């Protein structure tokens, strides 16, 4: 006796048979729709075609083994994590989905050196490579071929794991020997198998989650918005880090002078942070930087083996910075700072710079520009007064200003040195005071100067008119 849908449909009229078949098709479509919805929400796993394996030749002429990825030694890692039975078992030629759960995971950055060992007789025309693909992906990425380290059987290749933004993603990496050069880019596993001479087993690499770093404070200034933080010759810079800092990396600080003369060189500070947030002392008065007063600070996370050179007197060039920055795991937003001199001083008279302990005589015109700096903002009513006084004769006020430029710089414009034109030389110094010394009697200015707590060291000045006259008198005597 017939059973099932066939027997039922034969017993029904033709019209009813068509209805039954429509109901059957709709039921199947409904079930498929429900399965699709469940797969969309991750309640079930959709069926996927099995990925083809990398099939190693039966008689491999060379045995390949990846020994390190970045700063991680895989031989040490295997010794710590693998069971004795697994260590004695032969290494598989491919990694399947089931094998992934047995493999140890190596944390790595975007670009890491991969080292592997080759043992055996080297085939003719064989080319070594390190291939990478996303875990269980279809395509292997062919990058530059590996290079031999000296005359040993060790090979090294710089490998990129995905793109710079693939944080947390997992990749498979394996070393191979190919029958000649491979084109760079994507390569199907089936195509790879046709050119394969030898292969290592796959290792699982997970891209490290990069920490987020920021310069939070410079000296006593919290950084919000476009704050131009003041610094001195040495000022602590607080750097905050969110996220785990890899043990093979450290946080560094680079200082770049940008004003008044811009330079593309950067000075990397000697101090580093190894465990996360902290402070690094920034130096803003190193060799070749004394004339600069505006700087750009950059904090970065770099591997210790590829850390930019620190404490160099001439800094590092822009090309060197670009080379090292390729290894940076993270980089903070640059911060601009401005250096205050930390002392009340005259910086230049005319075009002559006045360093500390300056003892020479400055020769300038009767109208001469004088620049200087103060250690902090002026108080209400305070002004900077430039006074000149000879060894013999009356002192006078040469110039004054109440305006400060960035970083506490002041510029007195054309100071009046004409009253000293007939003198051999005279002393010039600046004073900060709320009192106008020009209203004092000239003979009382010397005593007033000695009572001022805020004054610069004196600078000896001689006018060019006097020098010209002296030279003329000397030529007359020679005749």
Closest CA to 297 of 404, 219, 195: 219
User: Are the C-beta atoms of 387 and 352 separated by less than 8 Å?
Assistant: no
Which of the pair, 49 or 423, is modelled with greater confidence? 423
pLDDT at 313: 85
Q: Assign 12 a pLDDT band (cuts: 50, 70, 90).
A: low
Distance spanning both ends of the chain, measured CA to CA: 149
Which of the pair, 56 or 130, is modelled with greater confidence? 130
pLDDT at 479: 41
Q: Assign 477 a pLDDT band (cuts: 50, 70, 90).
A: very low
pLDDT at 462: 92
Residue 444, both tokens: 């009382």
pLDDT at 430: 95
> Would you say residue 403 has pLDDT above 80?
yes
HSE-up of residue 219 (Cα within 13 Å, Cβ side): 17
Residue 130, both tokens: 């390190």
pTM higher than the cut 0.75? no
pLDDT single digits (tens) 363-400: 989 999 999 999 888 999 999 999 998 888 889 999 99
pLDDT single digits (tens) 331-349: 999 999 998 877 899 999 9
pLDDT single digits (tens) 103-124: 578 888 888 899 999 998 888 8
Q: Phi then psi for 418, rounded to 5 degrees?
A: -60, -40
pLDDT single digits (tens) 48-97: 444 556 555 556 678 999 999 987 888 644 444 333 333 323 333 333 33
Distance between CA atoms of residues 47 and 50, nearest Å: 9
Q: Assign 290 a pLDDT band (cuts: 50, 70, 90).
A: low
Distance between CA atoms of residues 235 and 218, nearest Å: 7
Q: How far is CA 183 from CA 13, 131, 134, in A?
A: 66, 12, 19
Q: How far is CA 248 from CA 73, 79, 244, 317, in A?
A: 12, 20, 12, 25
> Would you say residue 324 has pLDDT above 80?
yes
Percent of the chain past pLDDT 70, that is, above it, reads: 81
Which of the pair, 293 or 436, is modelled with greater confidence? 436
User: Which region among 101-105, 407-411, 421-425, 470-474 has the lowest average model confidence (pLDDT)?
Assistant: 470-474
Q: Assign 411 a pLDDT band (cuts: 50, 70, 90).
A: very high
User: Are the C-beta atoms of 407 and 291 separated by less than 8 Å?
Assistant: no
Mean predicted confidence (pLDDT) in 121-132: 90
Distance between CA atoms of residues 120 and 116, nearest Å: 13
Max CA separation in the chain (angstroms): 149
User: Are the C-beta atoms of 378 and 415 separated by less than 8 Å?
Assistant: no
Q: What is the 3-state secondary structure (H, E, C) of the chain?
A: CCCHHHHHHHHCCHHHHHHHHHHHHHHHHHHHHHHHHHHHCCCCCCCCCCCCCCCCCCCCCEEEEEEEECCEEHHHHHHHHCCHHHHHCCCCCCCCHHHHCCCCEEEECCEEEEEEEEEECCCCCEEEEEEEEECCCCEEEECCCCEECCCCCEEEEEEECCCCCCCCCEEEEEEEEEECCCCCEEEEHHHHHHHEEEECCCEEEEECCCCEEEEEEECCEECCCCCCEEECCEEEEEEEEECCCCCCEEEEEEEEEEECCCCCCEEECCCCECCCCEEEEEECCCCCCCCCCEEEEEEEEEEHHHCCCCCCCCCECHHHHHHHHCCCCEECCCEEEEECCCCCEEEEECCEECCCCCCCEEEECCEEEEEEECCCCCCCCCEEEEEEECCCCCCEEEEEECCCCHHHEEEEEEEECHHHCCCCCEEEEEEEECCCHHHCCHHHHHHHHHHCCCECCCEEEEEHHHHHHHHHHHHHHHC
User: Are the C-beta atoms of 7 and 1 separated by less than 8 Å?
Assistant: yes
Mean pLDDT of the chain: 81
User: Are the C-beta atoms of 55 and 93 separated by less than 8 Å?
Assistant: yes
Domains of the chain plus CATH, in order, are 4-40 (no CATH), 62-207 (2.60.40.10), 213-338 (2.60.40.10), 345-468 (2.60.40.10)
């Amino acid at each position: 006796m017939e059973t099932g849908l066939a027997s039922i449909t034969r017993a029904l009229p033709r019209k009813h048979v068509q209805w039954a078949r429509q109901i059957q098709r709709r039921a199947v479509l409904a079930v498929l729709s429900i399965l699709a919805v469940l797969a969309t929400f991750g309640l079930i796993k959709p069926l996927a075609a099995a990925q083809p394996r990398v099939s190693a030749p039966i008689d491999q002429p060379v045995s390949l083994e990846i020994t390190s990825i970045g700063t991680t030694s895989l031989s040490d890692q295997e010794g710590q994590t693998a069971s004795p039975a697994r260590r004695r078992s032969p290494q598989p030629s491919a990694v399947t989905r089931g094998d992934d759960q047995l493999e140890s995971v190596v944390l790595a950055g975007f670009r890491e050196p991969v080292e592997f060992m080759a043992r055996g007789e080297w085939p003719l025309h064989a080319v070594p490579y390190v291939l990478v693909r996303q875990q269980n992906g279809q395509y292997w990425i062919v990058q530059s071929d590996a290079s031999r380290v000296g005359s040993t059987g060790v090979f090294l290749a710089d490998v990129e794991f995905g793109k710079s933004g693939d944080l947390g993603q997992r990749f498979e990496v394996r070393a191979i020997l190919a029958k000649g050069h491979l084109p760079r880019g994507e390569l199907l596993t089936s195509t790879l198998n046709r050119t394969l001479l030898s292969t290592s087993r796959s290792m699982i690499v997970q891209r490290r989650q990069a920490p987020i770093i920021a310069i939070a404070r410079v000296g006593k200034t919290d950084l919000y918005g476009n704050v131009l933080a003041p610094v001195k010759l040495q000022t602590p810079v607080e750097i905050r880090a969110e996220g785990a800092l890899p043990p093979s990396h450290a946080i560094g600080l680079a200082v770049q002078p940008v004003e008044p003369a811009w330079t593309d060189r950067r000075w990397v500070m000697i101090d580093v942070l190894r465990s996360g947030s902290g402070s690094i002392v920034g130096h803003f008065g190193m060799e070749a930087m004394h004339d600069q007063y505006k700087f750009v600070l950059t904090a970065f996370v770099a591997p210790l083996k590829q850390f930019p050179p620190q404490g160099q007197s001439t800094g590092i060039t822009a090309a060197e910075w670009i080379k090292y920055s390729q290894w940076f795991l993270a980089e903070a937003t640059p911060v601009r700072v401005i250096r205050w001199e930390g002392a009340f001083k005259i910086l230049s008279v005319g075009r002559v710079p006045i360093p500390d302990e300056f003892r020479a005589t400055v020769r300038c015109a009767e109208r001469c520009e004088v620049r200087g700096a103060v250690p902090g903002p002026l108080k209400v009513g305070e002004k900077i007064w430039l006074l000149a006084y000879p060894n013999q004769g009356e002192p006078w006020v040469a110039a004054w200003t109440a305006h400060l430029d960035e970083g506490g710089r002041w510029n007195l414009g054309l100071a009046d040195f004409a009253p000293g034109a007939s003198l051999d030389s005279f002393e010039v110094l600046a004073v900060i005071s709320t009192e106008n010394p020009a209203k004092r009697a000239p003979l009382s200015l010397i005593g007033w100067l000695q009572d001022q707590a805020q004054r610069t060291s004196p600078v000896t000045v001689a006018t060019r008119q006097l020098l010209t006259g002296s030279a003329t008198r000397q030529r007359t005597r020679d005749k």
